[in-house]
Chain A
Amino acid sequence: MTALGDYRKREESISYSVESAGMGETHELLSLNIGPHHPATHGVLRLIATLEGEVVRDIKPIIGYVHTGIEKTAEQKSYWKAIPVVERMDYLSYYFNAMAYCGAVETLLGLEVPPRAQYLRVIHLELNRIMSHLVWLGTSALDLGAMSMFWYCFRERETILDLFEMSSGQRMHTRYFQIGGVFEDIPLGFAEKLQKFVDAMPARADQYADLLEKNQILLSRLRDTCILDEQTLLGWNVTGPLLRAAGNPWDLRKAAPYSSYDHFEFKIPVGSVGDNYDRYRVRHAELYESTKIIDQALNGLPEGPTIADDRKVVLPPRHELATSMEALIHHFKLVTEGFRVPEGEAYYPIESPRGELGCFVRSDGSAKPARVHMRDPSFVNLQSTAPMVKDSYIADLIATLAMVDPVLGGVDR
């Protein structure tokens, strides 16, 4: 029997009919297929749920529908050309993907990032965090039946995307972060527009809370549903807002600050019970904290270069190409071959909107990475959905999936 024949046989052997589970004639288990194309799965996620009446006894996530082999593709690109590829993994937090990858390569190179670039990175990372949480809030509220929240969230998201477009020319997958710093300084008018956004955002977040938290339907769907305690979550290697909702204040921005996060004052929101309501509250509170960080970074933005001054790694400024032979040679070498990275391995973890995003890069001394691996928080956190929804109603499964916030681009890579 060929592998393909085997596969077809297995596919056909899945039964969606009512099966007796040895519980007598009055009780039966039902296997229900949800997805891969279903609005409530936030992407192409397929779940096989085993139901007893309305109660979920088990779910099996089936993933891989948007696997595009990004890690393999990155191995074929020179280091700087791999940035756009890794950005496309988790398509809601592209700045974070680029940051983790650039951080790992910078660690291998021993490259120091100038303070202004670090601050600009923080500004964009936190804008990206707000943007990602807004998409999460809008779509989650949609899953729970709150239609208008979606439009309000996407209104603010538009403002953020406009800012991204201003600083880099792109709205998504901006490739703004470079190895050694950022692509270029923020343009004129960016700071004013950003300040306006920062001033407006807390009031907007208040409005979201007013819309959602006085809604009895939403509250009763979130409160005390699908609780998972801290120790169990740690066993499932869960990080990010899900872990913080259970009361563990683990946040890499505070615990192991990178990119000047120790310069800013912010709080880490934590939950108390670890139910869906806490998961919602933690992310909602993070909107305010991220706004505070952006405000501090923008007003304390140091002067100086926006990219490291290592001509063996960083492209020379455009104007030098016309006057300096040296710059022309460097430019040619960097664009054609790329730069070589000394042999070694690095694991660079950062706090993405969904948890610990770690990039592992192995260099074999050539101009292309020998291995790029992303520890994507969605991929790991998704496993914890099954213990969360066990023995709760199928309606809570949809709410929990929304609160887990998996991004399938990051899960499948």
Chain B
Amino acid sequence: MPDAAGLEVLADALRAADPSSVLGTTFDRGRAEIQIDPSKNIEVIELLRERGFNFLASLHGVDYYPEEPRLGVVYELLDMKEVDRVSLKARVTIDAAKVTSVTSIWPGADFPERECYDMFGVVFEGHPDLRRILMPEDFEGFPQRRDFPIGGEPILFTFNETERYGKDR
């Protein structure tokens, strides 16, 4: 993990390239996080890649209900040479849940982005095959959102598939 000062150096380098790309930084309990403008994620990631953070350790979604903007897409970047981690967070609203896909940089972002779309409904533009991955293809709603109710999910078999449970949820 970069320390608090190292995080600011990183953020300043990003700001120097494009002042509007960085919305803020947090250094909390050893975790360095940069909040970025969701429309500029590719530019920011490319810059960080040049600085050594060229491995995408994890990509996941978070729902900050009831805060706005609600959804967050978190990129955990890793520098294998310096053994350093930094996370990027792009916050988007439910109505404009759109982020550019990073599959062009890391083909391995394919499944994680599909999972994030499946669970939170974040659309990754430029993703080669953005479909549901864990939930059934006919599932309605995005189950990991905080306002999605839990429990009582009827199981769909061939004999009751026409009953279409959960339609009016």
Interface residues of A, Cβ cutoff 8 Å to B? 2-4, 6-8, 10, 63-64, 67, 69, 71-73, 75-76, 107-108, 110, 234-238, 248, 250, 255-256, 344-347, 349, 356, 358, 360, 362, 370-371, 373, 375, 379-380, 382-384, 387, 412-413
Contacts and interface: CB of A to CB of B under 8 A. Distances in A.
B95 interface: no
A255 B84 CA distance: 10
Chain A contact residues: helix, strand, loop or mixed: mixed
Interface string B99-124: 00000001111111001000100000
B30 interface: yes
Residue of A3, A6, A248 with highest tally of chain B CB at under 10 A: A3
A347 B138 contact: no
A64 B134 contact: yes
A72 B106 contact: no
9 contacts: A3-B138, A63-B134, A64-B136, A237-B55, A237-B56, A360-B76, A373-B61, A375-B57, A375-B76
Contacts, number: 114
Contact of A69 (B83, B132, B140, B143): B143
B168 interface: no
Interface residues of B, number: 46
A64 B119 CA distance: 12
Contact of B144 (A4, A71, A358, A379): A71
A347 B87 contact: yes
B58 A358 contact: yes
Given A346-B29, A349-B57, A63 B62 contact: no
Nearest to A64: B134
Given A4-B138, A256-B83, A370-B146, A346 B109 contact: no
Contacts of B30: 107
A236 B107 contact: yes
Interface of B: 28-31, 33, 54-58, 60-63, 74, 76, 80, 83, 85, 87, 106-112, 115, 119, 132-140, 143-144, 146, 148, 150, 161-162, 164
A235 B107 contact: yes
The 9 closest A-B pairs by CB, nearest first: A237-B108, A375-B58, A236-B108, A7-B138, A67-B134, A64-B134, A373-B60, A4-B138, A3-B138
A67 B135 contact: yes
A382 B60 contact: no
A231 to B, nearest CB: 10
Contacts of B76: 347, 358, 360, 375
Contacts of B119: 71
A411 to B, nearest CB: 9
Contact of A4 (B61, B107, B164): B164
B56 to A, nearest CB: 5
A356 B59 CA distance: 13
Contact of A3 (B63, B109, B111, B140): B140
A18 to B, nearest CB: 24
Given A8-B161, A72-B150, A371-B63, 11 more contacts: A3-B139, A6-B138, A75-B146, A234-B54, A235-B107, A235-B108, A236-B106, A237-B108, A349-B85, A380-B111, A380-B112
B28 A344 contact: yes
Contacts of B137: 3, 6-7, 10
B109 A347 contact: no
A255 B107 contact: no
Nearest to B76: A347
A362 B144 CA distance: 13
Contact of B161 (A4, A235, A375): A4
Contact of A347 (B55, B58, B150): B58
A256 B144 CA distance: 31
Contact of B143 (A72, A375, A383): A72
A238 B161 CA distance: 38
B110 to A, nearest CB: 6
A237 B106 contact: yes
A344 B144 CA distance: 19
A259 to B, nearest CB: 15
Residue of B87, B107, B148 with highest tally of chain A CB at under 10 A: B107
A306 B107 CA distance: 43
Contact of B57 (A358, A371, A412): A358
Given A107-B30, A110-B29, A358-B76, A7 B136 contact: yes
Contacts of B31: 107, 344-347
Contacts of A71: 119, 144
A27 to B, nearest CB: 26
B96 to A, nearest CB: 21
Contacts of B106: 235-237
A260 to B, nearest CB: 17
Contacts of B57: 237, 349, 356, 358, 375
B2 to A, nearest CB: 13
Contacts of B135: 64, 67
A52 to B, nearest CB: 21
